[in-house]
Amino acid sequence: MRQPGRRTAAALLAVATGGLLTGCLGFGGDPDAGTNGVGKLPAGTIEQKAKAAADAARAVRLAGTVVSAGHTFRLDMRLRGNGGVGEVTEGGDTFQLLRIGDDLYLKAGADFYTAGGSDKDSQAAAAKLSGKYVKVPPGDPSYQQFSGFTDKKTLLADLFVFDGTVRTGEHRKVGSTRTIALDGQRGGSLDVSLKGAPYPLRYERPGGAGTLTLTDWGEDFQLAAPAKSQVVDYGKTVGK
């Protein structure tokens, strides 16, 4: 019997191993095999389930960029029902935010506070505030914006704002987790986990207005108010 030549043997090996790899990696098979089944649902139902999972989670970590009113903010926040804590960078300034209930604190270096002026009074005020937790009064214009960065409900609501009718997109991955994409008709894309609870894992905001990733779903943490010696109420003490 004639033995197969090298080309024939190589071809047979390619077919055999190719089929094996295809089966093992799932290429060409059912992309929803071994998942939570969410990827097979209509886009509107996936959106509802992702929103319900996000709302029910006790906590989440949110990181990425948000473009608002011409400013780009880089966030790294841990959020729960009664507040949040984390770091925000805007331009060359980085500051920390902490909110517990209605109490909002901001902590930054002296450069953050002297951005608007370099006179002696400004420098003296900045020296008082540098490295301290500044309690931001609710009536301050920055309170609403900064407190929004620490609000789980507010930030997650933004994940479910699409430009146009939502539709099912591609099967993708965020890190090592398989996802199904939800795409807005004219912009915006949300990756929903196909493993376990259908949590949102990544959100690309419409119009190039930033991308956010969401991790540590349900991993609760405690918020603690800073010591009184570390707190400055600038509405009462700065400038006096």
Ranges of each domain in the chain? 38-55+162-215, 63-155+224-232
User: How far apart (Å, rounded) are the C-alpha atoms in residues 184 and 61?
Assistant: 24
133-175 confidence digits (pLDDT tens): 999 999 888 898 899 999 999 989 888 877 778 999 999 999 9
pLDDT at 68: 81
**Across the strands, what pairs with 84?**
79, 99
Q: DSSP H helical segments within the chain, as ranges? A: 6-25, 43-56, 110-113, 120-129, 141-148, 152-157
pLDDT band at residue 64, thresholds of 50, 70 and 90?
Answer: very high
pLDDT band at residue 1, thresholds of 50, 70 and 90?
Answer: very low
The residue that leads in pLDDT, 224 or 208, is 224
Give the torsion sign (CA, 134, 137, 139, 145).
positive
The residue that leads in pLDDT, 239 or 226, is 226
Of 146, 177, 162, whose CA–CA distance to 75 is shortest?
Answer: 146
Q: Measured in whole angstroms, how far is the alpha carbon of residue 126 from the centre of its chain?
A: 31
**What would the 3-class secondary structure string for 78-131 be?**
EEECCEEEEEEEECCEEEEEEEECCEEEEECCHHHHCCCCCCHHHHHHHHHHCC
Of 54, 72, 90, 74, whose CA–CA distance to 212 is shortest?
Answer: 74
Strands 211-215 and 200-204: antiparallel
Average pLDDT value for the chain: 84
Mention every residue, 6+ apart, whose C-beta is less than 8 A from residue 26: 33
Of 64, 107, 69, 65, whose CA–CA distance to 85 is shortest?
Answer: 107
Whole-angstrom distance between the N-terminal and C-terminal Cα of the chain? Answer: 103
